[in-house]
Structure 1
Amino acid sequence: MRIGVTLGLLHPGIWRDFAVEADRLGFESLWVPEHLVFTSNVGESRYPGSADGTPPVSPDAHLFDAPAFLCSIAGATERIRLGTYVYLFGLRHPIIGARAFGTLDVLSGGRAIVGVGAGWLAGEYEALGLDFATRGRRLDEAIAVARRLWTEPVVDHSGEFYSFEGVHFEPKPANPPIVAGGESKAALRRAVRLCDGWVSMPHTLESAKPQLDLLDRLLAEHGRDRSSFEVTVSAFETRGPEELAEWEALGVDRLIVRPYERTTGSIERLRAFAEEYGVSRG
């Protein structure tokens, strides 16, 4: 079982030191949250990660360009993989998003994991003059464009949202994996159709099972199976090391954990978790 750790809830001032310690301890991956902007009407959008839909964020929260911040972390770490949880690829022109992750992948020596999602905050799209209702289609097209830019020598593209000709994109990254986030059927279908895997919102063993069953059905419908698809589940409330075997039995490849509740003492909690769970790179 591969075990990654999220930087969510931590003050950004500690991200780099936390990442260095996670790398030293043997955590397989590090995941940074991502938003471009928050808006004053953030409370009007339903957040899919809470029971009542209330967003757990403040409009004045500090935000950073996630791939850029991960480039800084890449320079201070050696082996830990670096992922976004999740990057709103459809908010940017795909050439811009592809360049950001291409840079991260090259500078980190092929350690980038491109976690993408459509997003839930309408005001974030409206601030950029984009139609929130088209976010899913924008993301689908952006994923397809990025893959071509990372693998083809010259790209011409004519789509619903983006069109360009004769684009050369160098240097090529090491074709970083794209994993789609989201809990809706549309999000899981996007992961199956266009991506290398799926990354969930927080789950317990019990709540994850229906989603994993749906995922298996969608994979079968598209002629795929788990052997060519990576399943990452956020498990922020694990009950002990013995639970890892149960996640493995469900076919989960990676858990993202959050062994802390606040910034103060978080590195000590990270060390304690690594010792209790026998963390090592998968």
Structure 2
Amino acid sequence: MEIGCVLPHHEIGSDPGAIRAFAQGAEELGMTHLLAYDHVVGVDRNRPGGFEGPYDSNTQFHEPFVLFGFMAACTTTIEFASAIIILPQRQTVLAAKQAAEVAILSDNRFVMGIGVGWNDVEYDALNEEFGNRGKRQEEQVDLMRRLWTEDVFSYDGEYHHFEHACIAPRPSQSIPILFGGSAPALLDRAARLGDGWFPLGTPNDKSAARIAEMKQAREAAGKSWDGFEIRAQAQYAGGDPDRWRGHAQKWADLGATHIAIATHNAGDTDVDGHLARIAEYQAAIAD
């Protein structure tokens, strides 16, 4: 498995020097990839009617496309992965343009993880429909891949329509698209349309069953499992070397190709502290 890390999105703060230092420090540690999460707006829990969810208006998220463009200029080898971009709440062609620019500026060091999200208030704020987000996502993937690889063309889908247009510049190769989530419909889309999967859970029987489902769906679609990536995450918080090794080994046994170390929610620290946590975890699972 390739070892990467997760940007501590809230705890890293908004100092560009700290963000630069984290990206460069992760690269110096030998991390092969760096993950960033995505939310555009947060919701006040005290609003009329209340709000329930893991994140709210007090949680910071850096915008992944802009973030990765900045980090690309600060690094040379580390790969950037969105885990995940909530694609249906974004305009498809604009997202394709932004992703293309990140791929160009990073010399193809960008992997686009996508999902459908859970926050209907966020969809409202972005003027996109929440109820059909899964169906739209499938068409979005088809359109983006064409925009990344084709010159002028016309598109007449269920949700997207235009004539004789394209984006330019385009990346020198199509951007890998991985799906994040665990719903049956999502797993089916990941198998049929994706280059891989970002699991949300732990390496247990449920994850094994989901991988088996995707293998079966991929085979039914006439696609090889070879090259299909499974990019897991691992939490530093609450663990120790034995627990970290066991967790990583379970993912490896399930066929995970990547694992990213998440160091947030483990107590107050600075950039050097997050990098030290990564190094500690890395050393524990190096075998």
The answer on whether the counterparts of 1:118 and 1:139 sit within 8 Å (CA) in structure 2 is: yes
Q: 1:209 corresponds to which residue?
A: 208
Q: Tell me the secondary structure at the aligned position of residue 139 of structure 2.
A: helix
Q: 2:252 corresponds to which residue?
A: 248
**Deviations along 1:155-182, whole A, 9 cap, x unmatched?**
2111122111111322221211000111
Structure 1 window deviating more from structure 2 (121-130 vs 210-219): it is 210-219
Q: Where in structure 2 are the equivalents of 1:29-68 lying within 5 Å?
A: 29-40=33-44, 55-68=53-66
CA distance in 2, matches of 1:57, 1:232: 22
Q: Where in structure 2 are the equivalents of 1:1-282 lying within 5 Å?
A: 1-8=1-8, 9-13=10-14, 14-40=18-44, 55-173=53-171, 174-236=173-235, 239-241=243-245, 243-260=247-264, 261-262=266-267, 264=269, 265-278=273-286
Q: Which sections of structure 1, spanning at least 5 residues, go unmatched?
A: 47-53
CA distance in 2, matches of 1:256, 1:188: 21
Structure 1 window deviating more from structure 2 (205-214 vs 172-181): it is 205-214
CA distance in 1, matches of 2:283, 2:253: 23
CA distance in 2, matches of 1:113, 1:103: 12
The answer on whether the counterparts of 1:11 and 1:263 sit within 8 Å (CA) in structure 2 is: no
The answer on whether the counterparts of 2:3 and 2:282 sit within 8 Å (CA) in structure 1 is: no
CA RMSD, 1 decimal: 2.4
CA positional deviation for 1:118: 0.7
Q: Which sections of structure 2, spanning at least 5 residues, go unmatched?
A: none
Distance 1:210 1:177, change over 3 A: same
Distance 1:25 1:205, change over 3 A: farther
**Deviations along 1:82-108, whole A, 9 cap, x unmatched?**
011100121222110011110101101
Amino acid corresponding to residue 85 of structure 1 in structure 2: A
Using structure 2 for the length normalisation, give the TM-score. Answer: 0.86
The answer on whether the counterparts of 1:37 and 1:124 sit within 8 Å (CA) in structure 2 is: yes
The answer on whether the counterparts of 1:70 and 1:104 sit within 8 Å (CA) in structure 2 is: yes
CA distance in 2, matches of 1:271, 1:103: 31
CA positional deviation for 1:38: 2.1
Distance 1:42 1:11, change over 3 A: farther
CA distance in 1, matches of 2:201, 2:68: 22
Q: Tell me the secondary structure at the aligned position of residue 217 of structure 1.
A: helix
CA distance in 2, matches of 1:203, 1:105: 30
Moved over 3 A (4+): 12-15, 40-46, 204-207, 240-246
Amino acid corresponding to residue 153 of structure 2 in structure 1: V
Structure 1 window deviating more from structure 2 (108-117 vs 16-25): it is 16-25
Paired residues in the alignment total: 272
The answer on whether the counterparts of 1:181 and 1:200 sit within 8 Å (CA) in structure 2 is: yes
Distance 1:275 1:217, change over 3 A: same
Amino acid corresponding to residue 11 of structure 2 in structure 1: L
CA positional deviation for 1:205: 4.0
CA positional deviation for 1:23: 0.7
